[in-house]
Structure 1
Amino acid sequence: MKKLTSLAGVVAAVAALALPLSAQAHRAWLAPTSTVLSGTEAWVGFDAGMSNGVFIADHAAMNLAGLTIVAPDGSTAAPQNAMTGKYRSTFDLHLTQAGTYRIANVSGGVVVSYKQGGETKRWRGAEAAMAAAIPADATDVVATRSNSRTETFVTLGEPSTTALTPTGQGLELVPVTHPNDLAAGEAATFKLVRDGQPAADLDVTIARGGTRYRDNPEEMTVRTGADGSFTVTWPEPGMYWMNASVRTPASGEQLAYTAQYNGVLEVLP
């Protein structure tokens, strides 16, 4: 462990995040067919991919190995009819409880780059397994702890908040305004936390979907305050993509760190 942390302190952070993100240049999204539903039960479909334009399946399907669905009572729900194609992954969710569901694809761990015998090699896995996994004769070791979260929210009936409780891992959205109570022309407030602590002074990019037939993408950037909060006034109805990221260099015994958040929210008329 000492070998890894000391070398990590004098080299730059690894640029790549762990799966499911395939490349920093492409935007990861998890888009539902509906976000607000009524009745005693309902079905919602989801598309998940990475692309240059949000919600345009033209680059790569998302690896859903880290898919976690939190039901309104805090239990875990299971996706159904899952499929991975060339450009998008899909699945369905049967809503059987009243309230709000949090649907998230999450990955985390450590990414390590090193040289052995003149050859560059990489390893990805849990931080606890890192020291044993890197050969004793490895040189030029670069270790970065990473976390990525791509998520959306769906409500059946009245909104609830149990599923919105943060895990304390990575970069997370803590709603002040409920994520399924958004309307065009109205302001909504959220907070970003990093490992459970306020994520201050971060740029948050917000883009509206449907850009394929527009001359210019509709994007805006807001910045989090000291408590991690930020406010958005939605210009039009539609499906919106939200992104923020944070990177810190290695320091002492602390590994370099990178985290990314991608959220999908629907704004109603």
Structure 2
Amino acid sequence: MMNFRKSLLLLAATAAMAMPQMAGAARPWMLPSETMFAGSGNEWLTVDAAISSDLFYFDHPGQEWQPVVTAPDGSTAQVENRTVGKLRQTFDLGIKAKGTYKIAIVNEMLMGNYMLNGERKMLPRGTTAATLATAVPQGATDVQTATATTRIETFVTAGQPTGTVFTTTGKGLEMVPVTHPNDVAMGEPATFKFLLNGKPAAGLDVVAIPGGIRYRSDLKQIDGKTDAEGKITLTWPEAGMYWVSVNSGGRRGPGEGGPGANGSGGAPGAGGPQGQAGPEGARPMGPPQDRATYAMTVEVQG
């Protein structure tokens, strides 16, 4: 038995070392308890929300995210029993009307830097437009800022899917379905359109990863790129919950560090301190770049 356990540990260690670097990335997500309801008017949904390396497990500090639910008629539905724990956030939603609900977490913060006493300093992490004036000390000059927007979504449907909730805001990365996200099935193509600040998000890398990567060395990652219209078509090899992510803007600028884009799935606020040097060493700070991250959880039916 002891030799067997040692063999398992050795196999696990070897698999971990063989996994691509992306396996350790911080990924923001929501996980609904289910996505399809009969529509009886007396049903309940529970959602977990977290940032983690392993989909859909809890291995990072819990986040003070504020979920917003759009009901099928376009109104805002209230979540209940919201709790922020050490590693995750949970909340419940009463499914009272037929149609599609959108559950979204949207965060927008400012990245940037300023000159003070001959040195360039970074803005504190978590700075927003409302707190910028207090984040920049007196005497600072040459303030440079850029916006980082993170949008995390999932969708659930009672009865037949509807499209009212897919109204866009024109800010950051947003998804407009060609295929309804609650109408995807194993072996069938599904097409989604992405917009960046209201315009087609062309040429962006998209990744889709099924949950359960904690127990396998192969991510089973699906890679694709949006076309000139911002569209991408994905075909699902197996059933289950998938995390779909797209990023725009890459790093915050030369020397500014932070989680990468184009597959890393890192969320603003999930990486190391701003200004931290990467493996290549310190580099001069450049102007910050706008960044946008979108992450969606879809359930693929068997």
TM-score, normalized by the shorter chain, greater than 0.5:
yes
Deviation digits for residues 26-60 of structure 1 (CA, Å, limit 9, x no counterpart): 00001100001103221010001111121111122
Alignment of 1:10-159 (within 5 A): 25-41=25-41, 42-65=43-66, 67-117=67-117, 120=121, 122-123=123-124, 124-126=127-129, 130=132, 134-135=136-137, 137-139=139-141, 141-159=143-161
Question: Structure 2 vs 1, CA of residues 43 and 227 (structure 1 numbering), >3 Å: closer, same or farther?
Answer: same
Q: Is the 8 Å Cα contact of residues 123 and 135 (structure 2) preserved in structure 1?
A: no
Partner of 2:257: none
The structural deviation recorded for 1:168 is: 1.3
Q: Which residue of 2 aligns with 1:262?
A: 295
Please state if 1:246 is matched with 2:279. Answer: no
Shift >4 Å, 4+ stretches: 129-133
Task: State the Cα RMSD in Å.
Answer: 2.3
Task: Give the distance between the partners of 2:122 and 2:220, measured in 1 at CA.
Answer: 40
Shift of the 256–236 alpha-carbon distance from structure 1 to 2, 3 Å rule, reads same
TM-score (norm 1): 0.83
Matched residues, number: 241
Secondary structure, aligned partner of 2:290: strand
The aligned amino acid for 1:264 is T
Counterpart residue type for residue 100 of structure 2: T
Q: For 1:197-249, what per-residue CA distance to the aligned partner results, in whole angstroms no more than 9, with x for missing partners?
A: 00000000110001222231111110000000000001000000011111178
Partners of 1:83 and 1:132 in 2: how far apart? 30
Single out whichever of 79-88 and 115-124 deviates more from structure 2.
Answer: 115-124
- Superimposed CA distance per residue, residues 108-135 of structure 1 (whole angstroms, 9 cap, x where no aligned partner): 14233335346845251227x7468634
1:119 and 1:230, CA in 2 relative to 1: closer, same or farther beyond 3 A? closer
Of residues 134-143 and 40-49 in structure 1, the stretch that sits farther from structure 2 once superposed is 134-143
User: Secondary structure at the residue paired with 1:61?
Assistant: coil
Whole-angstrom CA distance in 1 between matches of 2:61 and 2:297: 18
Give the alignment partner of residue 182 of structure 2, picking from 180, 195, 199.
180
- Is contact 2:112–2:288 with CA below 8 Å preserved after alignment? no
Larger deviation, residues 207-216 vs 226-235: 207-216
Please report how far the alpha carbon of residue 173 of structure 1 lies from its aligned counterpart in structure 2 after TM superposition. Answer: 0.7
| Structure 1 residue ranges without an equivalent (≥5) | 1-23
Larger radius of gyration: 2
**What amino acid sits opposite 1:102 in the alignment?**
K
Contact 2:190 2:234 (8 Å CA) reproduced: yes
Please tell me whether the aligned partners of residues 172 and 261 of structure 1 are also in contact (alpha carbons under 8 angstroms): yes
Following superposition, the deviation at residue 104 of structure 1 comes to 0.5
CA distance in 2, matches of 1:90, 1:119: 40
Matches of 2:203 and 2:243 in 1, distance apart?
A: 20
Native 8 Å contact 1:47 1:90 kept in 2 = yes
Q: Taking structure 2 as the reference length, what is the TM-score of the superposition?
A: 0.74
Seen in structure 2, the aligned counterparts of structure 1 residues 193 and 63 have a Cα distance that, compared at 3 Å, is same
Measured against aligned partners, the alpha-carbon deviations of 1:64-118 in whole angstroms (never above 9, x if no partner) come to: 13x2111000000111001111111100000111000000000114233335346
Matched, 1:197 2:203: no
Q: Could you tell which deviates more after superposition, 236-245 or 209-218?
A: 209-218
Tell me: CA distance 1:135–1:62, structure 2 relative to 1, closer, same or farther (3 Å): closer
Q: Secondary structure at the match of 1:212?
A: helix
Cα distance in 1, alignment partners of residues 138 and 51 from structure 2? 37
Would you say the 8 A contact 1:28–1:62 is kept in 2? no
